[in-house]
């Protein structure tokens, strides 16, 4: 078992969770509108959705890996290209983080959990991202690929839940800090670009 690969995965996941995206911005706005515990309910729904995507990717990719080294290389190459395209998309985007001041309709905790869950499950980009992200971080020759994908999935969910949970709890401070310090948005934008490129390179040169 290669512990360094797991550490690298945790570091990359942490950087991705911190970087601005639709999910953490959504959590931030729900927390500002409804309160901290409602923001946490939203986070729980999003993470439950990640478990569904982990299952889809785990069984699908595992079968492909068993079939052919060439197919596995093609998956890695496509994953690298996809991550580079994400980095390019972030680079072309507006550097400001748009935090709407309009009120969001208040909902109960179960409704927010379901909304977060469906929002994640029905987004095919999550599965595509996992498909690009996970294969380069297989860390053991003894464990089956299915088990490794589930371990990576649970680690991804754990780290993301912690980071998104902090966003929910500190929503007010984060919102004010972003609005008062435009340089924060620039830093987070370039952090996301660097992380996407670094993960893409790592995946391309990773071994089966």
What is the domain count for the chain? 1
- Structural domain includes residue 6: no
- Structural domain includes residue 53: yes
- Structural domain includes residue 128: yes
- Structural domain includes residue 1: no
Q: Average pLDDT, whole number, for the chain?
A: 80
Contact in structure between 74 and 132 (CB atoms under 8 Å): no
Which tokens in the block code for residue 195? Answer: 């992380």
Going from the C-alpha of 2 to that of each of 122, 137, 207, the distances in angstroms are 33, 10, 12
CB atoms within 10 A of CB 103: 9
- Structural domain includes residue 196: yes
Give the pLDDT score at 175. Answer: 66
Torsion angle defined by CA atoms of residues 142, 147, 153 and 159, in that order, rounded to the nearest 10 degrees: -60
- Average pLDDT of the residues in 14-41: 82
Of the listed ranges 47-61, 137-151, 180-194, the least confidently predicted one is 180-194
Domain that holds residue 177: 36-93+111-204
- Structural domain includes residue 197: yes
Each residue of 81-112: pLDDT tens digit? 877 887 888 788 765 555 554 445 566 889 88
* Helix (H), strand (E), coil (C) string for 58-93: HHHHHHHHHHCHHHHHHHHHHHHHHHHHHHHHHHHC
Contact in structure between 53 and 121 (CB atoms under 8 Å): yes
């Amino acid at each position: 078992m290669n512990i360094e690969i797991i550490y690298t995965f945790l570091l990359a996941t942490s950087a991705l969770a911190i970087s601005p995206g639709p999910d953490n911005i959504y959590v931030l706005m729900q927390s500002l509108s409804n309160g901290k515990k409602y923001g946490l309910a939203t986070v729980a729904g999003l993470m439950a959705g990640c478990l569904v995507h982990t299952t889809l990717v785990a069984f699908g990719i595992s079968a492909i890996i068993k079939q052919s080294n060439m197919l596995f290389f093609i998956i890695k190459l496509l994953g690298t290209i996809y991550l580079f395209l994400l980095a390019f998309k972030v680079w072309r985007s507006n550097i400001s983080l748009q935090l709407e001041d309009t009120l969001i309709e208040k909902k109960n905790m179960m409704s927010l959990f379901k909304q977060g869950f469906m929002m994640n499950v029905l987004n095919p980009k999550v599965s595509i991202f996992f498909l690009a992200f996970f294969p380069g971080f297989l860390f053991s020759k003894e464990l089956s690929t299915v088990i490794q994908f589930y371990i990576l999935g649970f680690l991804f969910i754990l780290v993301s839940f912690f980071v998104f949970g902090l966003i929910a709890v500190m929503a007010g401070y984060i919102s004010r800090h972003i609005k008062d310090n435009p340089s924060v948005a620039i830093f987070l934008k370039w952090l996301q670009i660097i992380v996407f490129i670094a993960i893409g390179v790592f995946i391309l040169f990773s071994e089966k």
